[in-house]
Amino acid sequence: MLLSLLKHSFFRQKRAMALMIVSVAMGTALTASLMALSMDIKGKVSKELRSFGANITVTPKVEGLAGMVGQKRYLSESDLIKIKTIFWRHNIVGLAPFLEAEAELGSDGTKRSVQAVGTWFRRELPLPGESADFEAGVMTVSPWWLLDGTAPGGQGVVLGSSLANELRLKAGDSLTIDDRPFTVSGILSTGGKEERQVFMDLHEMQALKGLEGKVSMALVSALTTPMDEFAYKDPATMSKKEYEKWYCTGYVTSIAKQVEEAVGGSRAKPIWHIAEAEGKVLGRMSLLIYLLSGAALSASALGVSTTMIAGLLRRTDEIGLMKAVGAVGAQITGIFLSEALIIGAIGGISGYLASLWVVKYVGLRVFGTGLESRALLLPVSLLIALIISVLGSFLPIRRALGIKPALVLKGAR
Amino acid sequence: MRPNRKWFIRMLRASLGKRKGRVFVAALSVAIASSVIVGALGLSLGIRQKLGGELKAYGSNAIASKPGGYIEESALGALSGAKGVEEYGGQLYASVTVRGVEAELMGVDASKRYGWKIKGAMPKEGEALIGTDLAEALDKSLVDITISTGGREASLRVSGFVESGGVEDRAVIVGLKDAQRITGLGGMLSAVLIRARADGLDDVVKEVAALLPGAEAKTLRQVAYAEETFLGKVELLMLLVSIVVVIASGISVSSTMSATVLERIKEIGLMKALGGTMGMIRSFYLAEGALIGLLGGAGGYLLGFASAQAVSRGAFGSFISVPLYLIAISVVAGLVIAVMASGLPMRPALRQRPSAILRGE
């Protein structure tokens, strides 16, 4: 009996049922998409925020007066690759070494003292034990550097724009640095101190200054977990268990600590204002998406309920007839609940499928990579669809039970 | 036409008045769709300003300095009226020697927050904040220091130690007034750090250069570039989410409206049988849809406004400015959804013969 009634509902009233299913599917698709987005938002936004540049500096350790006056200290270039072997190695997304020294720049017969910097602009580093190379260089830690021309390499050097303006040099011109001939390969604009410096390949600089294998500092860009109250505790005062927890969480401080341990004789420090701002923005963004998802969920729940109510309201006659021929409350409830469950199931599954497409498209357009769509979302969206459609029919069913068949069949409502 | 209009109004009143429950459901669903549109659009439009406020924490996005010279502090007043400039502050730098170690003296506005990690307090008058690297080189338990620059000497009390991960770690940081006194450069600034609105930054930089005679103004690309990239992505994200939300809720509402209309096909047959023309019947349903749309659209604006505010309060702790013209958009969206959703399912019924409809075919 129930089966044949259901069959009748779905096949004889295709249009009305289709409308309800579409409504449930749309609500579910919206909710599932936003849930997928909120699950992935922290990782994605944190990656985007790396465009603000490096968040860890690595410098030679300063110990007492000797560190600041007298002989300059250096880090070893070959140690830097070890940064990609720490516990949080997959979170290291950028790395660039710098060797800075005063040098004598000669052009047009005049000489002046400038700050010369040896670095990599872009360089593929082979990683021990891994097939993919690691892309390192200035462009991975300071993506805002605007280079007009080509990166330094061999005899090519890049001039900061202020320096180039003063010396009236442009790409292709030749000059000397410490009496060796070089050619200008590009002009660099940053808005900062780099505009007064001259950049060359790291190895060229090391050869020029007789500092083979040495660097004076490195910048690291790492994906981090935002600092919370626990993270601000001084690691020195932590208990062993706390220390372990701190060490194994991707805070900027614990990643810096691991970098420091990997690079001999170094001191690694967070760039605090970057780390702090990142935590703030990340918190705000994820909160925004959570709230948005909540709002969308309630809106689509309401929307689906109104569809279900509207769908049942038009069947008052039918219910009156059922009652007139002797159906009891439980039977009527059973019929409409099973209808709601079927609508919820079909709508939920199609809504989930639609959300897969939405999530992929939005991820590709905004972040360049698809958002991770999780299998967990299928049961969750199915459940949401079922709950929404059953809750949506609750009110109309209660009304239906109160219907007086005689009145309804007479046409009074 | 006169009797027609009377008939028309009577039918509308009866239809809306006697079916309050259904009208309410229809108007509610339109209101939900409109509110979603208003909420999503309001948030996408305001997100730049809201997040821009958060991104301030990344620091200044423009800087002004005079090559080989100083900017006079008195000239800064002109900046307060400049369009797009949100905040600015002068700093003074000088090379100093502390116990034989060369360091940088930075004079800053000590009442501001800089995002550094400070052990102790920002310097008050006669006090100095010491960079951690410098402190490590000198003595970690410093209490008083004497710094010398250009033949002048000054004694300062140490208010705390600073770790920033940048140049500050090797600097002695004091209040601007102290720096000017110590160096003998009263009323002078080495640089003016400016925080300007992210959009139209280039124009702001030009304006700043014009307002400070002889000074060079530059965009700090680190903050400016990253901010633009990031804000652009977030805006795009919000826009796409809004579009998805609008489409999904639009379809959902249309199906509600269609469901309420489907049941009324019999009514059409009756009207036709009683002599209603196609035009009359059509305009009757359109008018009904329009009234519901108007009601729903207006209610939707209020609902959407409230939800956008709730989200903004929750996420950013402050209200968001929702443009007033969204009322118009909301009402128009409500009208379009309601009229289309109630008009389209009618079309086949309008074409059928009344006898067929009334017979139940």
Q: What is the ipTM of this complex?
A: 0.79
The answer on pLDDT for B1 being more than 50 is no
- Using CA atoms in the order B328, B330, B331, B332, what is the torsion angle rounded to 10 degrees? 80
How does the average pLDDT of chain B come out, rounded?
Answer: 84
* pLDDT recorded at residue B7: 75
The tens digit of pLDDT for each residue in A351-374 reads: 999 988 888 888 888 887 777 767
User: pLDDT band for position A196 (50/70/90)?
Assistant: very high
* pLDDT recorded at residue A147: 94
The answer on pLDDT for A20 being more than 70 is yes
> Of A59, A195, A273, A367, which to mutate for an interface test with B (greatest number of B Cβ within 10 Å)?
A273
* pLDDT recorded at residue A380: 87
Q: Say what the pTM is.
A: 0.80
The answer on pLDDT for A67 being more than 70 is no
Contact flag B234-A69 (C-beta cutoff 8 Å): no
* pLDDT recorded at residue B260: 66
Q: Which residue of A has its CA nearest to B222?
A: A144
Mean pLDDT, to the nearest integer, of A139-167? 92
The tens digit of pLDDT for each residue in B124-145 reads: 999 999 998 888 888 767 788 8
Name chain A contacts of B225, Cβ cutoff 8 Å: 51, 143-144
Dist CA B63 CA B193 (whole Å): 5
* pLDDT recorded at residue B341: 74
Q: Which residues contact A365 (CB under 8 A, 6 or more apart)?
A: B236, B240
How does the average pLDDT of chain A come out, rounded?
Answer: 86
Dist CA B305 CA B322 (whole Å): 7
List A residues 323-362 in contact with B (Cβ-Cβ < 8 A): 358, 361-362
Q: For residues B12 and B91, which has the higher predicted lDDT (pLDDT)?
A: B91
Q: In this structure, what token pair is assigned to residue A109? A: 């017969």
Mean pLDDT, to the nearest integer, of A109-119? 92
The answer on pLDDT for A412 being more than 60 is no
Contact flag B253-A48 (C-beta cutoff 8 Å): no
A368 touches chain B (CB under 8 A): no
* pLDDT recorded at residue B262: 65
Which of B28, B55, B163 faces A269 most closely, judged by CB atoms? B163
Q: Which residue of A has its CA nearest to B27?
A: A306
3-state DSSP assignment of residue B256? helix
- Using CA atoms in the order B307, B313, B315, B321, what is the torsion angle rounded to 10 degrees? 70
The tens digit of pLDDT for each residue in A381-392 reads: 899 888 888 887
The answer on pLDDT for B323 being more than 80 is yes
Name chain A contacts of B22, Cβ cutoff 8 Å: 310, 313
User: pLDDT band for position B70 (50/70/90)?
Assistant: very high
User: pLDDT band for position A290 (50/70/90)?
Assistant: confident
Distances (CA, A) of B312 to A285, B39, B50, B170, B316: 11, 10, 9, 41, 5
Contact flag A192-B39 (C-beta cutoff 8 Å): no
Mean pLDDT, to the nearest integer, of B293-315? 89
List A residues 169-198 in contact with B (Cβ-Cβ < 8 A): 189-192
Q: In this structure, what token pair is assigned to residue B238? A: 């919000």
The tens digit of pLDDT for each residue in B147-168 reads: 888 888 899 999 999 999 888 9
Name chain A contacts of B237, Cβ cutoff 8 Å: 362, 366
Which of B25, B247, B249 faces A310 most closely, judged by CB atoms? B25
Across B49-58, B154-163, B328-337, the highest mean pLDDT is recorded for B154-163
The fraction of chain A above a pLDDT of 70, given in percent, is 93
As a residue count, chain A comes to 413
The answer on pLDDT for B32 being more than 70 is yes
Dist CA A392 CA B116 (whole Å): 53
Mean pLDDT, to the nearest integer, of A180-189? 94
Q: What is the largest CA-CA distance in chain A?
A: 111
> Of A61, A288, A384, which to mutate for an interface test with B (greatest number of B Cβ within 10 Å)?
A288
* pLDDT recorded at residue A36: 87
Mean pLDDT, to the nearest integer, of A97-124? 92
Residue from B330, B19, B17 nearest A412 by CA: B19
* pLDDT recorded at residue A95: 95
Which residue shows structure tokens 């990579």? Answer: A369
Contact flag B54-A16 (C-beta cutoff 8 Å): no
Q: For residues A100 and A17, which has the higher predicted lDDT (pLDDT)?
A: A100
B31 half-sphere exposure, CB direction, 13 A CA radius: 20
Q: For residues A91 and A405, which has the higher predicted lDDT (pLDDT)?
A: A91
User: pLDDT band for position A255 (50/70/90)?
Assistant: very high
The tens digit of pLDDT for each residue in A317-334 reads: 777 888 888 888 888 888
Lowest mean pLDDT segment, chosen from A63-67, A154-158, B209-213: A63-67
The answer on pLDDT for A39 being more than 50 is yes
Mean pLDDT, to the nearest integer, of B1-7? 63
The tens digit of pLDDT for each residue in B234-275 reads: 888 888 888 888 787 777 777 777 766 666 777 777 888 888
Name chain B contacts of A191, Cβ cutoff 8 Å: 62-63, 218-222, 224
The tens digit of pLDDT for each residue in A211-245 reads: 999 999 999 999 998 888 888 888 888 999 999 99
Dist CA B325 CA B316 (whole Å): 23
The answer on pLDDT for A48 being more than 90 is no
Contact flag B259-A20 (C-beta cutoff 8 Å): yes
Name chain B contacts of A29, Cβ cutoff 8 Å: 248
Distance from CA of A340 to the nearest CA of B (A): 15
The fraction of chain A above a pLDDT of 90, given in percent, is 38
Q: In this structure, what token pair is assigned to residue A279? A: 């935590």
User: pLDDT band for position B37 (50/70/90)?
Assistant: confident
- Compute the count of residue pairs across chains A and B with CB atoms less than 8 Å apart: 227
Lowest mean pLDDT segment, chosen from A65-79, A258-272, B189-203, B224-238: A65-79
The answer on pLDDT for A69 being more than 70 is no
* pLDDT recorded at residue B361: 53
Contact flag A48-B101 (C-beta cutoff 8 Å): no
* pLDDT recorded at residue B47: 83
Helix ranges (DSSP H) in B213-277: 221-262, 265-273
